[in-house]
Amino acid sequence: MRVIGKMLLLIFKIFIAVILVVLVVNFVVVFSESSNITSTVSSTDITFSKDQLEELKTENAQCILVLGAAVKSDGTPSAILRDRLDVAISLYKKGIAPKLLLSGDNGSVDYNEVKCMRNYAASAGVPSNDIFLDHAGFSTYESMYRARDVFGASKMIVVTQKYHMYRALYIAEKLGVSAVGVCSNQQKYSEQIIWSTREILARDKDFVQCIYKPEPTYLGKSIDLSGSGLSTQN
Protein backbone atom coordinates (compact mmCIF):
# COMPACT_ATOMS: atom_id res chain seq x y z
CA MET A 1 0.00 0.00 0.00
CA ARG A 2 2.87 2.33 0.79
CA VAL A 3 4.33 1.79 -2.70
CA ILE A 4 0.94 2.47 -4.30
CA GLY A 5 0.63 5.63 -2.23
CA LYS A 6 4.04 6.86 -3.42
CA MET A 7 3.15 6.13 -7.04
CA LEU A 8 -0.12 8.04 -6.73
CA LEU A 9 1.71 10.96 -5.15
CA LEU A 10 4.25 10.95 -8.00
CA ILE A 11 1.49 10.86 -10.61
CA PHE A 12 -0.25 13.75 -8.85
CA LYS A 13 2.98 15.80 -8.79
CA ILE A 14 3.55 15.15 -12.49
CA PHE A 15 -0.03 16.16 -13.26
CA ILE A 16 0.37 19.41 -11.32
CA ALA A 17 3.68 20.12 -13.07
CA VAL A 18 2.11 19.62 -16.49
CA ILE A 19 -0.78 21.92 -15.62
CA LEU A 20 1.66 24.58 -14.43
CA VAL A 21 3.70 24.36 -17.64
CA VAL A 22 0.55 24.67 -19.75
CA LEU A 23 -0.62 27.71 -17.80
CA VAL A 24 2.79 29.41 -17.83
CA VAL A 25 3.10 28.99 -21.60
CA ASN A 26 -0.38 30.44 -22.07
CA PHE A 27 0.50 33.40 -19.87
CA VAL A 28 3.66 34.04 -21.89
CA VAL A 29 1.81 33.90 -25.23
CA VAL A 30 -1.09 36.10 -24.11
CA PHE A 31 0.96 38.63 -22.14
CA SER A 32 3.64 39.06 -24.81
CA GLU A 33 1.15 39.80 -27.60
CA SER A 34 -1.50 41.88 -25.83
CA SER A 35 0.15 45.12 -26.90
CA ASN A 36 0.09 44.06 -30.57
CA ILE A 37 -3.71 43.97 -30.68
CA THR A 38 -4.64 47.40 -31.98
CA SER A 39 -8.43 47.14 -31.83
CA THR A 40 -11.37 44.82 -31.22
CA VAL A 41 -14.59 44.97 -33.22
CA SER A 42 -17.38 44.06 -30.81
CA SER A 43 -20.53 44.67 -32.86
CA THR A 44 -21.85 43.98 -36.35
CA ASP A 45 -21.69 47.72 -36.96
CA ILE A 46 -17.99 47.63 -37.83
CA THR A 47 -16.47 50.99 -36.96
CA PHE A 48 -13.00 52.27 -36.16
CA SER A 49 -11.91 55.50 -34.59
CA LYS A 50 -9.74 57.91 -36.52
CA ASP A 51 -6.82 57.14 -34.20
CA GLN A 52 -7.20 53.40 -34.74
CA LEU A 53 -7.17 53.79 -38.50
CA GLU A 54 -4.17 56.11 -38.40
CA GLU A 55 -2.29 53.65 -36.21
CA LEU A 56 -3.05 50.80 -38.59
CA LYS A 57 -1.97 52.82 -41.62
CA THR A 58 1.40 53.53 -40.03
CA GLU A 59 2.09 49.78 -40.13
CA ASN A 60 2.47 50.00 -43.92
CA ALA A 61 1.18 46.45 -44.09
CA GLN A 62 1.52 44.53 -47.34
CA CYS A 63 -1.69 42.63 -46.71
CA ILE A 64 -4.53 41.81 -44.37
CA LEU A 65 -4.28 38.15 -43.43
CA VAL A 66 -7.55 36.36 -42.69
CA LEU A 67 -7.14 33.00 -40.98
CA GLY A 68 -9.57 30.36 -42.17
CA ALA A 69 -12.32 28.66 -40.20
CA ALA A 70 -15.23 26.31 -40.79
CA VAL A 71 -17.32 26.48 -43.95
CA LYS A 72 -20.96 25.40 -44.07
CA SER A 73 -22.09 22.45 -46.17
CA ASP A 74 -23.59 24.86 -48.72
CA GLY A 75 -20.18 26.49 -49.25
CA THR A 76 -20.90 29.69 -47.33
CA PRO A 77 -18.81 30.89 -44.39
CA SER A 78 -19.69 29.94 -40.83
CA ALA A 79 -20.48 32.77 -38.43
CA ILE A 80 -16.94 32.88 -37.06
CA LEU A 81 -15.40 33.01 -40.54
CA ARG A 82 -17.92 35.56 -41.80
CA ASP A 83 -17.06 37.88 -38.92
CA ARG A 84 -13.36 37.67 -39.79
CA LEU A 85 -14.06 38.40 -43.43
CA ASP A 86 -16.35 41.33 -42.67
CA VAL A 87 -13.68 43.02 -40.55
CA ALA A 88 -10.93 42.36 -43.10
CA ILE A 89 -13.06 43.68 -45.98
CA SER A 90 -13.87 46.81 -43.98
CA LEU A 91 -10.17 47.42 -43.31
CA TYR A 92 -9.33 46.86 -46.98
CA LYS A 93 -11.96 49.35 -48.10
CA LYS A 94 -10.56 51.91 -45.66
CA GLY A 95 -7.16 51.59 -47.32
CA ILE A 96 -5.35 49.91 -44.44
CA ALA A 97 -3.58 47.48 -46.78
CA PRO A 98 -3.69 46.93 -50.55
CA LYS A 99 -4.28 43.16 -50.55
CA LEU A 100 -6.26 40.45 -48.78
CA LEU A 101 -4.44 37.20 -48.05
CA LEU A 102 -7.04 34.51 -47.33
CA SER A 103 -5.44 31.45 -45.78
CA GLY A 104 -7.28 28.22 -45.08
CA ASP A 105 -7.72 24.51 -45.60
CA ASN A 106 -8.18 23.22 -49.15
CA GLY A 107 -6.74 19.81 -48.41
CA SER A 108 -9.44 17.93 -50.34
CA VAL A 109 -11.73 18.53 -53.30
CA ASP A 110 -14.72 18.31 -50.97
CA TYR A 111 -13.63 21.03 -48.57
CA ASN A 112 -12.39 24.45 -49.63
CA GLU A 113 -12.21 27.28 -47.11
CA VAL A 114 -10.35 29.67 -49.39
CA LYS A 115 -12.80 29.42 -52.29
CA CYS A 116 -15.60 30.28 -49.88
CA MET A 117 -13.59 33.20 -48.54
CA ARG A 118 -12.76 34.47 -52.02
CA ASN A 119 -16.37 34.32 -53.14
CA TYR A 120 -17.48 36.23 -50.06
CA ALA A 121 -14.84 38.94 -50.47
CA ALA A 122 -15.53 39.30 -54.18
CA SER A 123 -19.28 39.59 -53.58
CA ALA A 124 -18.50 42.40 -51.14
CA GLY A 125 -16.74 44.35 -53.88
CA VAL A 126 -13.09 43.45 -53.36
CA PRO A 127 -11.38 43.28 -56.80
CA SER A 128 -10.15 39.79 -57.70
CA ASN A 129 -6.67 41.17 -58.39
CA ASP A 130 -6.38 42.13 -54.73
CA ILE A 131 -7.41 38.73 -53.34
CA PHE A 132 -4.65 36.21 -52.72
CA LEU A 133 -5.49 32.65 -51.69
CA ASP A 134 -3.31 30.36 -49.61
CA HIS A 135 -4.76 26.90 -50.21
CA ALA A 136 -2.42 25.17 -47.76
CA GLY A 137 -3.07 27.10 -44.56
CA PHE A 138 -3.83 23.89 -42.66
CA SER A 139 -3.05 25.45 -39.28
CA THR A 140 -2.32 28.84 -37.79
CA TYR A 141 1.39 28.04 -37.75
CA GLU A 142 1.40 26.95 -41.39
CA SER A 143 -0.60 30.01 -42.45
CA MET A 144 1.94 32.31 -40.81
CA TYR A 145 4.94 30.41 -42.15
CA ARG A 146 3.57 30.41 -45.70
CA ALA A 147 2.59 34.07 -45.49
CA ARG A 148 6.26 34.80 -44.88
CA ASP A 149 8.00 32.27 -47.14
CA VAL A 150 5.56 31.86 -50.03
CA PHE A 151 3.90 35.28 -50.18
CA GLY A 152 6.85 37.30 -48.90
CA ALA A 153 4.87 39.05 -46.18
CA SER A 154 7.05 40.86 -43.67
CA LYS A 155 4.41 43.33 -42.45
CA MET A 156 0.74 42.47 -42.12
CA ILE A 157 -2.53 42.99 -40.31
CA VAL A 158 -4.03 39.80 -38.88
CA VAL A 159 -7.78 39.35 -38.49
CA THR A 160 -9.28 36.65 -36.26
CA GLN A 161 -11.14 36.41 -32.95
CA LYS A 162 -9.36 37.60 -29.82
CA TYR A 163 -9.05 34.17 -28.19
CA HIS A 164 -7.10 33.04 -31.28
CA MET A 165 -5.26 36.27 -31.96
CA TYR A 166 -2.64 35.94 -29.23
CA ARG A 167 -1.32 32.70 -30.71
CA ALA A 168 -1.38 34.01 -34.27
CA LEU A 169 0.64 37.09 -33.33
CA TYR A 170 3.04 35.06 -31.21
CA ILE A 171 3.81 32.79 -34.15
CA ALA A 172 4.28 35.78 -36.45
CA GLU A 173 6.71 37.39 -34.04
CA LYS A 174 8.76 34.22 -33.63
CA LEU A 175 8.92 33.85 -37.41
CA GLY A 176 10.23 37.39 -37.75
CA VAL A 177 7.04 38.87 -39.23
CA SER A 178 5.86 42.29 -38.09
CA ALA A 179 2.15 41.83 -37.39
CA VAL A 180 -0.60 43.57 -35.48
CA GLY A 181 -4.08 42.25 -34.86
CA VAL A 182 -7.63 43.46 -35.30
CA CYS A 183 -10.03 41.18 -33.44
CA SER A 184 -13.37 40.22 -34.98
CA ASN A 185 -15.52 39.75 -31.89
CA GLN A 186 -18.86 40.83 -33.33
CA GLN A 187 -20.88 38.15 -31.54
CA LYS A 188 -20.84 35.25 -29.10
CA TYR A 189 -20.59 31.75 -30.54
CA SER A 190 -22.26 28.64 -29.18
CA GLU A 191 -19.00 26.66 -29.49
CA GLN A 192 -16.85 29.31 -27.79
CA ILE A 193 -16.18 27.30 -24.62
CA ILE A 194 -14.93 24.37 -26.70
CA TRP A 195 -12.75 26.61 -28.89
CA SER A 196 -11.27 28.47 -25.93
CA THR A 197 -10.45 25.22 -24.13
CA ARG A 198 -8.80 23.79 -27.23
CA GLU A 199 -6.87 27.04 -27.68
CA ILE A 200 -5.14 26.52 -24.33
CA LEU A 201 -3.46 23.38 -25.66
CA ALA A 202 -2.93 24.86 -29.12
CA ARG A 203 -0.87 27.69 -27.63
CA ASP A 204 1.43 25.15 -26.00
CA LYS A 205 1.77 23.18 -29.22
CA ASP A 206 2.70 26.24 -31.26
CA PHE A 207 4.98 27.53 -28.51
CA VAL A 208 7.05 24.38 -29.06
CA GLN A 209 6.78 24.65 -32.85
CA CYS A 210 8.13 28.19 -32.67
CA ILE A 211 11.24 26.83 -30.98
CA TYR A 212 12.00 24.20 -33.65
CA LYS A 213 10.33 26.02 -36.58
CA PRO A 214 9.43 22.99 -38.75
CA GLU A 215 8.54 23.65 -42.37
CA PRO A 216 4.83 23.55 -43.27
CA THR A 217 3.25 20.67 -45.17
CA TYR A 218 3.75 22.53 -48.46
CA LEU A 219 5.86 25.50 -49.52
CA GLY A 220 6.03 25.96 -53.29
CA LYS A 221 7.07 28.83 -55.52
CA SER A 222 7.09 32.42 -54.32
CA ILE A 223 4.08 34.62 -55.00
CA ASP A 224 4.49 38.41 -55.12
CA LEU A 225 1.85 40.23 -53.08
CA SER A 226 2.49 43.41 -55.04
CA GLY A 227 1.12 41.79 -58.19
CA SER A 228 -2.22 40.19 -59.04
CA GLY A 229 -3.84 37.50 -56.93
CA LEU A 230 -5.62 35.92 -59.90
CA SER A 231 -2.95 33.23 -60.32
CA THR A 232 -3.73 31.93 -56.82
CA GLN A 233 -7.43 31.49 -57.51
CA ASN A 234 -7.26 28.48 -59.85
Q: What is the arrangement of strands in the sheet containing 100-103, beginning at the earlier edge strand?
A: 37-41, 178-184, 155-160, 63-67, 100-103, 131-134
How far is the C-alpha of 207 from the C-alpha of 215, rounded, in Å? 15
d(CA 95, CA 89): 10
Residue type present at position 163: Y
Does residue 107 have a pLDDT over 80? Answer: no
User: According to the per-residue pLDDT averaged within each range, which of 12-16, 74-78, 104-108 is highest?
Assistant: 74-78
Fold classification of 37-232 (topology level): Rossmann fold (3.40.50)
- Measured distance CA(83)–CA(139) in Å, rounded: 19
pLDDT classification of 91: cutoffs 50, 70, 90: very high
Tell me what the mean pLDDT of segment 99-128 comes to.
92
Three-state DSSP at 143 gives helix
Q: State how far the Cα of 30 lies from the Cα of 101, in Å rounded to an integer.
A: 24
Rg value, the chain, Cα: 19
Which percentage of the chain shows pLDDT scores above 90? 85
Q: What's the pTM?
A: 0.94
Model confidence pLDDT, tens digit, residues 17-76: 989 999 999 999 999 999 999 999 998 999 999 999 999 999 999 999 999 999 998 989
Residue-range domain boundaries for the chain: 37-232
Residue 108, pLDDT score: 77
When pLDDT is cut at 50, 70 and 90, the band that residue 109 belongs to is: confident
Contact (Cβ atoms closer than 8 angstroms) between residue 86 and residue 186:
yes
182 beta partners:
39, 159
φ and ψ of 93, to 5 deg: -70, -20
Q: Which DSSP state fits 191? A: T
The pLDDT, as a whole number, for residue 165 is 98
Confidence of residue 110 (pLDDT cuts 50, 70, 90): confident
Which candidate, 205, 208, 231, 207, places its Cα nearest to that of 220? Answer: 231
